[in-house]
Structure 1
Amino acid sequence: MSKRTHTRRGTARPIRHLGDPVLRTECDPVRTFDAALERLVDDMFVTMYEEEGAGLAANQVGVGLRVFVYDCEDDKGRRHIGHVVNPRLVAADGETLVEPEGCLSVPGLRFATPRHAHAAVEGVDMKGKPVHVEGTGYFARCLQHECGHLDGSVYIDVLSGDARREAMRAIRNLRR
Protein backbone atom coordinates (compact mmCIF):
# COMPACT_ATOMS: atom_id res chain seq x y z
CA MET A 1 0.00 0.00 0.00
CA SER A 2 1.43 3.39 -0.94
CA LYS A 3 1.97 6.12 1.61
CA ARG A 4 -0.10 8.54 -0.47
CA THR A 5 -0.53 11.79 1.47
CA HIS A 6 -0.06 14.43 -1.20
CA THR A 7 -3.65 15.54 -1.74
CA ARG A 8 -3.29 16.95 -5.24
CA ARG A 9 -4.38 14.99 -8.26
CA GLY A 10 -1.90 13.86 -10.84
CA THR A 11 -0.96 11.19 -13.33
CA ALA A 12 1.89 8.75 -12.95
CA ARG A 13 4.61 9.20 -15.56
CA PRO A 14 7.10 6.58 -16.73
CA ILE A 15 10.41 6.54 -14.86
CA ARG A 16 13.50 7.05 -17.00
CA HIS A 17 16.25 4.50 -16.38
CA LEU A 18 20.01 4.72 -16.40
CA GLY A 19 21.15 5.01 -20.00
CA ASP A 20 18.54 7.65 -20.84
CA PRO A 21 20.43 10.88 -21.71
CA VAL A 22 17.98 13.04 -19.73
CA LEU A 23 19.47 11.60 -16.52
CA ARG A 24 22.98 12.73 -17.52
CA THR A 25 22.02 16.27 -18.56
CA GLU A 26 22.04 19.18 -16.13
CA CYS A 27 18.49 20.45 -15.70
CA ASP A 28 17.42 23.96 -16.63
CA PRO A 29 16.07 26.41 -14.06
CA VAL A 30 12.30 26.86 -13.89
CA ARG A 31 11.42 30.30 -15.24
CA THR A 32 7.64 29.98 -15.59
CA PHE A 33 5.51 29.40 -12.50
CA ASP A 34 2.17 28.32 -13.89
CA ALA A 35 -0.41 25.53 -14.00
CA ALA A 36 1.99 23.33 -16.02
CA LEU A 37 4.53 23.46 -13.16
CA GLU A 38 1.82 22.60 -10.62
CA ARG A 39 0.74 19.68 -12.82
CA LEU A 40 4.37 18.47 -13.03
CA VAL A 41 4.72 18.55 -9.23
CA ASP A 42 1.41 16.70 -8.82
CA ASP A 43 2.43 14.08 -11.38
CA MET A 44 5.81 13.66 -9.68
CA PHE A 45 4.17 13.00 -6.30
CA VAL A 46 1.81 10.41 -7.83
CA THR A 47 4.72 8.76 -9.65
CA MET A 48 6.93 8.73 -6.54
CA TYR A 49 4.18 7.14 -4.45
CA GLU A 50 3.29 4.55 -7.10
CA GLU A 51 6.95 3.57 -7.40
CA GLU A 52 7.37 3.61 -3.59
CA GLY A 53 10.19 6.13 -3.69
CA ALA A 54 11.33 8.65 -1.07
CA GLY A 55 12.13 11.36 -3.60
CA LEU A 56 11.90 12.05 -7.31
CA ALA A 57 13.64 14.55 -9.58
CA ALA A 58 11.92 15.94 -12.69
CA ASN A 59 14.47 14.44 -15.08
CA GLN A 60 13.56 11.00 -13.76
CA VAL A 61 10.21 11.48 -15.51
CA GLY A 62 11.84 12.99 -18.59
CA VAL A 63 11.48 16.68 -17.75
CA GLY A 64 14.75 18.63 -17.77
CA LEU A 65 13.74 21.20 -15.14
CA ARG A 66 15.18 21.81 -11.67
CA VAL A 67 12.35 20.39 -9.55
CA PHE A 68 12.18 17.57 -7.03
CA VAL A 69 9.61 16.14 -4.62
CA TYR A 70 10.17 14.16 -1.44
CA ASP A 71 8.42 12.20 1.29
CA CYS A 72 10.85 10.65 3.76
CA GLU A 73 11.89 10.56 7.39
CA ASP A 74 14.94 12.02 9.09
CA ASP A 75 17.07 10.27 11.69
CA LYS A 76 14.61 11.22 14.45
CA GLY A 77 11.63 9.65 12.68
CA ARG A 78 10.11 13.00 11.61
CA ARG A 79 8.42 12.81 8.23
CA HIS A 80 9.19 15.50 5.64
CA ILE A 81 6.93 15.98 2.61
CA GLY A 82 7.34 18.68 -0.01
CA HIS A 83 8.88 19.93 -3.20
CA VAL A 84 11.64 22.35 -4.18
CA VAL A 85 11.91 24.29 -7.43
CA ASN A 86 15.34 25.54 -8.53
CA PRO A 87 17.05 23.92 -5.53
CA ARG A 88 20.63 24.64 -4.53
CA LEU A 89 22.41 22.33 -2.13
CA VAL A 90 23.78 24.95 0.28
CA ALA A 91 25.12 22.55 2.92
CA ALA A 92 26.26 18.94 2.94
CA ASP A 93 28.28 18.42 6.07
CA GLY A 94 28.69 16.49 9.26
CA GLU A 95 29.78 12.90 9.54
CA THR A 96 29.96 10.85 6.35
CA LEU A 97 27.56 7.93 6.60
CA VAL A 98 27.88 4.93 4.31
CA GLU A 99 24.50 3.23 4.02
CA PRO A 100 22.52 1.32 1.39
CA GLU A 101 20.96 3.61 -1.19
CA GLY A 102 18.79 2.91 -4.19
CA CYS A 103 17.23 4.85 -7.03
CA LEU A 104 14.05 4.52 -9.06
CA SER A 105 16.16 5.08 -12.19
CA VAL A 106 18.42 2.15 -11.28
CA PRO A 107 15.68 -0.29 -10.21
CA GLY A 108 16.32 -3.29 -8.03
CA LEU A 109 19.85 -2.34 -6.99
CA ARG A 110 21.12 -0.85 -3.72
CA PHE A 111 24.70 0.00 -2.86
CA ALA A 112 26.50 1.30 0.22
CA THR A 113 26.77 5.00 -0.65
CA PRO A 114 28.61 7.71 1.28
CA ARG A 115 26.55 10.80 2.11
CA HIS A 116 26.87 13.58 4.64
CA ALA A 117 24.70 13.29 7.76
CA HIS A 118 23.29 16.82 7.31
CA ALA A 119 22.11 18.69 4.23
CA ALA A 120 20.31 21.94 3.46
CA VAL A 121 18.65 23.02 0.24
CA GLU A 122 17.35 26.45 -0.76
CA GLY A 123 15.01 27.21 -3.62
CA VAL A 124 11.39 28.19 -4.13
CA ASP A 125 8.03 26.44 -4.16
CA MET A 126 5.77 26.13 -7.20
CA LYS A 127 4.41 29.64 -6.55
CA GLY A 128 7.91 31.16 -6.39
CA LYS A 129 7.96 31.57 -2.60
CA PRO A 130 11.41 31.00 -0.99
CA VAL A 131 11.97 27.60 0.60
CA HIS A 132 14.73 26.38 2.94
CA VAL A 133 14.72 22.63 3.62
CA GLU A 134 17.17 21.09 6.05
CA GLY A 135 17.53 17.54 7.23
CA THR A 136 19.61 14.84 8.84
CA GLY A 137 20.00 11.11 8.32
CA TYR A 138 17.90 9.56 5.57
CA PHE A 139 16.30 12.91 4.71
CA ALA A 140 19.76 14.49 4.25
CA ARG A 141 20.63 11.55 1.99
CA CYS A 142 17.45 12.18 -0.04
CA LEU A 143 18.21 15.91 -0.45
CA GLN A 144 21.74 15.16 -1.68
CA HIS A 145 20.50 12.39 -3.99
CA GLU A 146 17.79 14.51 -5.66
CA CYS A 147 20.07 17.55 -6.10
CA GLY A 148 22.58 15.22 -7.75
CA HIS A 149 19.94 14.13 -10.27
CA LEU A 150 19.24 17.73 -11.25
CA ASP A 151 22.97 18.24 -11.87
CA GLY A 152 22.97 15.27 -14.26
CA SER A 153 24.37 12.59 -11.98
CA VAL A 154 23.08 9.41 -10.34
CA TYR A 155 24.00 7.99 -6.97
CA ILE A 156 26.47 5.47 -8.39
CA ASP A 157 28.63 8.48 -9.39
CA VAL A 158 29.53 9.07 -5.72
CA LEU A 159 30.73 5.49 -5.29
CA SER A 160 34.40 4.63 -5.51
CA GLY A 161 36.71 1.65 -5.33
CA ASP A 162 35.18 -1.78 -4.80
CA ALA A 163 31.68 -0.36 -4.31
CA ARG A 164 31.78 1.36 -7.70
CA ARG A 165 33.15 -1.74 -9.43
CA GLU A 166 30.40 -3.85 -7.83
CA ALA A 167 27.73 -1.35 -8.94
CA MET A 168 28.99 -1.18 -12.51
CA ARG A 169 29.16 -4.98 -12.72
CA ALA A 170 25.58 -5.30 -11.41
CA ILE A 171 24.31 -2.68 -13.88
CA ARG A 172 26.03 -4.44 -16.79
CA ASN A 173 24.44 -7.73 -15.72
CA LEU A 174 20.97 -6.10 -15.63
CA ARG A 175 21.34 -5.02 -19.25
CA ARG A 176 22.10 -8.54 -20.52
Structure 2
Amino acid sequence: MPERPIRLFGDPVLKTVSAPVEQVDDRVRALVADLIDSVRLPGRAGVAASQIGVNLRAFSYNIDGEVGYVLNPELVEVSGEKEAIDEGCLSVPGLWKKTPRYPFARVRGIDLDGNEIEVSGTGLMAQALQHETDHLDGLLYLDRLENDERRSAMKEIRESDWF
Protein backbone atom coordinates (compact mmCIF):
# COMPACT_ATOMS: atom_id res chain seq x y z
CA MET A 1 0.00 0.00 0.00
CA PRO A 2 1.27 3.52 -0.67
CA GLU A 3 1.71 6.26 1.85
CA ARG A 4 -1.30 8.53 1.94
CA PRO A 5 -1.39 12.35 1.70
CA ILE A 6 -1.49 14.10 5.06
CA ARG A 7 -4.51 16.31 5.80
CA LEU A 8 -3.54 19.84 6.81
CA PHE A 9 -4.73 22.20 9.53
CA GLY A 10 -8.20 23.48 8.63
CA ASP A 11 -9.46 20.09 7.39
CA PRO A 12 -12.52 19.22 9.52
CA VAL A 13 -11.44 15.57 9.94
CA LEU A 14 -8.59 16.78 12.18
CA LYS A 15 -11.07 18.27 14.67
CA THR A 16 -13.41 15.26 14.67
CA VAL A 17 -13.36 12.63 17.41
CA SER A 18 -12.51 9.33 15.72
CA ALA A 19 -14.88 6.38 15.89
CA PRO A 20 -13.69 3.10 17.41
CA VAL A 21 -12.74 0.22 15.16
CA GLU A 22 -15.75 -2.09 15.58
CA GLN A 23 -14.56 -4.95 13.39
CA VAL A 24 -11.17 -5.82 11.93
CA ASP A 25 -11.84 -6.43 8.26
CA ASP A 26 -9.99 -5.93 4.98
CA ARG A 27 -10.65 -2.19 5.14
CA VAL A 28 -9.00 -1.91 8.57
CA ARG A 29 -6.08 -4.13 7.48
CA ALA A 30 -5.56 -1.84 4.45
CA LEU A 31 -5.73 1.20 6.74
CA VAL A 32 -3.01 -0.24 9.00
CA ALA A 33 -0.82 -0.99 5.95
CA ASP A 34 -1.30 2.62 4.76
CA LEU A 35 -0.51 3.98 8.24
CA ILE A 36 2.69 1.92 8.42
CA ASP A 37 3.75 2.99 4.91
CA SER A 38 2.94 6.61 5.75
CA VAL A 39 4.96 6.64 9.00
CA ARG A 40 8.06 5.05 7.45
CA LEU A 41 8.90 8.24 5.55
CA PRO A 42 11.86 10.19 6.97
CA GLY A 43 11.09 12.59 9.81
CA ARG A 44 7.84 10.95 10.85
CA ALA A 45 7.30 9.72 14.42
CA GLY A 46 3.58 8.98 14.13
CA VAL A 47 0.56 9.17 11.84
CA ALA A 48 -3.04 9.07 13.06
CA ALA A 49 -5.80 7.71 10.81
CA SER A 50 -7.51 11.12 10.89
CA GLN A 51 -4.38 12.65 9.34
CA ILE A 52 -4.93 10.51 6.25
CA GLY A 53 -8.66 11.27 6.19
CA VAL A 54 -10.00 8.16 7.97
CA ASN A 55 -12.23 8.74 11.00
CA LEU A 56 -11.20 5.60 12.93
CA ARG A 57 -9.22 5.20 16.16
CA ALA A 58 -5.87 3.98 14.82
CA PHE A 59 -2.34 5.28 14.59
CA SER A 60 1.12 4.16 13.61
CA TYR A 61 4.45 5.09 15.15
CA ASN A 62 8.10 5.04 14.13
CA ILE A 63 10.35 5.74 17.11
CA ASP A 64 14.05 4.83 17.15
CA GLY A 65 13.50 2.20 14.46
CA GLU A 66 10.49 0.65 16.21
CA VAL A 67 7.54 0.73 13.82
CA GLY A 68 4.08 -0.33 14.92
CA TYR A 69 0.42 0.53 15.18
CA VAL A 70 -2.42 0.50 17.70
CA LEU A 71 -6.14 0.15 17.01
CA ASN A 72 -8.58 1.74 19.47
CA PRO A 73 -5.76 3.28 21.50
CA GLU A 74 -6.60 4.82 24.84
CA LEU A 75 -4.10 6.79 26.86
CA VAL A 76 -4.21 4.82 30.12
CA GLU A 77 -1.25 6.25 32.02
CA VAL A 78 0.94 9.34 32.07
CA SER A 79 3.42 10.23 34.75
CA GLY A 80 6.01 12.76 35.78
CA GLU A 81 5.84 16.52 35.66
CA LYS A 82 4.74 18.01 32.34
CA GLU A 83 7.64 19.43 30.36
CA ALA A 84 7.58 21.94 27.50
CA ILE A 85 8.99 19.96 24.56
CA ASP A 86 9.55 21.15 20.98
CA GLU A 87 6.72 19.61 19.00
CA GLY A 88 5.62 19.73 15.41
CA CYS A 89 2.92 18.02 13.38
CA LEU A 90 2.69 16.75 9.82
CA SER A 91 -0.70 18.47 9.62
CA VAL A 92 0.88 21.83 10.56
CA PRO A 93 4.02 21.81 8.40
CA GLY A 94 7.03 23.87 9.36
CA LEU A 95 5.75 24.95 12.77
CA TRP A 96 7.43 23.82 16.00
CA LYS A 97 6.25 24.99 19.41
CA LYS A 98 7.05 24.17 23.04
CA THR A 99 4.18 21.89 24.03
CA PRO A 100 3.50 20.60 27.55
CA ARG A 101 3.77 16.79 27.61
CA TYR A 102 4.28 14.17 30.28
CA PRO A 103 7.67 12.40 30.19
CA PHE A 104 6.04 8.93 30.35
CA ALA A 105 2.94 7.63 28.58
CA ARG A 106 1.21 4.29 28.05
CA VAL A 107 -1.55 3.44 25.58
CA ARG A 108 -3.65 0.31 25.45
CA GLY A 109 -5.49 -0.94 22.39
CA ILE A 110 -5.73 -3.95 20.10
CA ASP A 111 -3.85 -5.39 17.15
CA LEU A 112 -5.26 -6.74 13.89
CA ASP A 113 -6.02 -10.08 15.57
CA GLY A 114 -8.06 -8.40 18.31
CA ASN A 115 -5.40 -9.07 20.95
CA GLU A 116 -4.90 -6.42 23.63
CA ILE A 117 -1.60 -4.59 23.28
CA GLU A 118 0.19 -1.89 25.23
CA VAL A 119 2.79 0.55 24.03
CA SER A 120 4.64 2.75 26.48
CA GLY A 121 7.75 4.81 26.70
CA THR A 122 9.58 7.93 27.67
CA GLY A 123 10.97 10.80 25.63
CA LEU A 124 9.91 10.83 21.99
CA MET A 125 7.76 7.70 22.41
CA ALA A 126 5.80 9.30 25.27
CA GLN A 127 5.37 12.47 23.24
CA ALA A 128 4.20 10.55 20.16
CA LEU A 129 1.69 8.46 22.12
CA GLN A 130 0.15 11.60 23.61
CA HIS A 131 0.24 13.46 20.27
CA GLU A 132 -1.39 10.65 18.27
CA THR A 133 -4.12 9.92 20.82
CA ASP A 134 -4.85 13.66 20.85
CA HIS A 135 -5.40 13.48 17.08
CA LEU A 136 -7.94 10.69 17.55
CA ASP A 137 -9.75 12.86 20.11
CA GLY A 138 -9.96 15.74 17.61
CA LEU A 139 -7.11 17.73 19.17
CA LEU A 140 -3.99 19.20 17.62
CA TYR A 141 -0.89 20.02 19.62
CA LEU A 142 -1.82 23.68 19.09
CA ASP A 143 -4.77 23.08 21.43
CA ARG A 144 -2.27 22.31 24.22
CA LEU A 145 -0.41 25.63 23.91
CA GLU A 146 -0.80 28.56 26.30
CA ASN A 147 -3.01 31.37 24.92
CA ASP A 148 -0.22 33.74 23.82
CA GLU A 149 1.77 30.92 22.22
CA ARG A 150 -1.35 29.64 20.45
CA ARG A 151 -2.16 33.10 19.07
CA SER A 152 1.41 33.38 17.79
CA ALA A 153 1.16 29.93 16.17
CA MET A 154 -2.15 30.80 14.49
CA LYS A 155 -0.58 33.96 13.06
CA GLU A 156 2.32 31.91 11.67
CA ILE A 157 -0.14 29.44 10.12
CA ARG A 158 -2.17 32.22 8.48
CA GLU A 159 1.04 33.64 6.99
CA SER A 160 2.35 30.27 5.78
CA ASP A 161 2.52 29.24 2.11
CA TRP A 162 0.50 26.07 2.61
CA PHE A 163 -2.51 27.56 4.45
| Conserved 8 A contact 1:51-1:104 | no
Could you say which residue in structure 2 is the equivalent of 1:60? 51
Could you say which residue in structure 2 is the equivalent of 1:125? 111
| Post-superposition offset of 1:38 | 1.4
| Post-superposition offset of 1:43 | 0.8
| Post-superposition offset of 1:13 | 1.1
2:19 is the alignment partner of 1:33: no
| Post-superposition offset of 1:37 | 1.1
1:131 is paired with a residue of what secondary structure? strand
Could you say which residue in structure 1 is the equivalent of 2:91? 105
Aligned residue among 28, 33, 47 for 1:42: 33
Measured on the aligned residues, the alpha-carbon RMSD in Å equals 1.4
2:127 is the alignment partner of 1:136: no
In the aligned structure 2, how far is the partner of 1:150 from the partner of 1:59? 7
2:79 is the alignment partner of 1:88: no
1:90 is paired with a residue of what secondary structure? strand
User: Percent identity, aligned pairs only?
Assistant: 46
In the aligned structure 2, how far is the partner of 1:52 from the partner of 1:40? 21
In the aligned structure 1, how far is the partner of 2:81 from the partner of 2:70? 25
In the aligned structure 1, how far is the partner of 2:33 from the partner of 2:138? 22
In the aligned structure 2, how far is the partner of 1:87 from the partner of 1:139? 14
Q: For this pair of structures, how many residues does the alignment match?
A: 162
In the aligned structure 1, how far is the partner of 2:42 from the partner of 2:140? 17
In the aligned structure 1, how far is the partner of 2:35 from the partner of 2:119? 18
| Post-superposition offset of 1:155 | 0.5
| Post-superposition offset of 1:51 | 5.9
The residue type paired with residue 15 of structure 1 is I
In the aligned structure 1, how far is the partner of 2:150 from the partner of 2:42? 25
In the aligned structure 1, how far is the partner of 2:63 from the partner of 2:81? 20
- Alpha-carbon displacement from aligned partner over 1:98-152 (angstroms, at most 9, x marks no partner): 1110100001111111100010101101221100111111110000000000000
The residue type paired with residue 133 of structure 2 is C
In the aligned structure 2, how far is the partner of 1:154 from the partner of 1:126? 26
The residue type paired with residue 105 of structure 1 is S
- Bigger shift: 24-33 or 38-47? 38-47
- Bigger shift: 11-20 or 45-54? 45-54
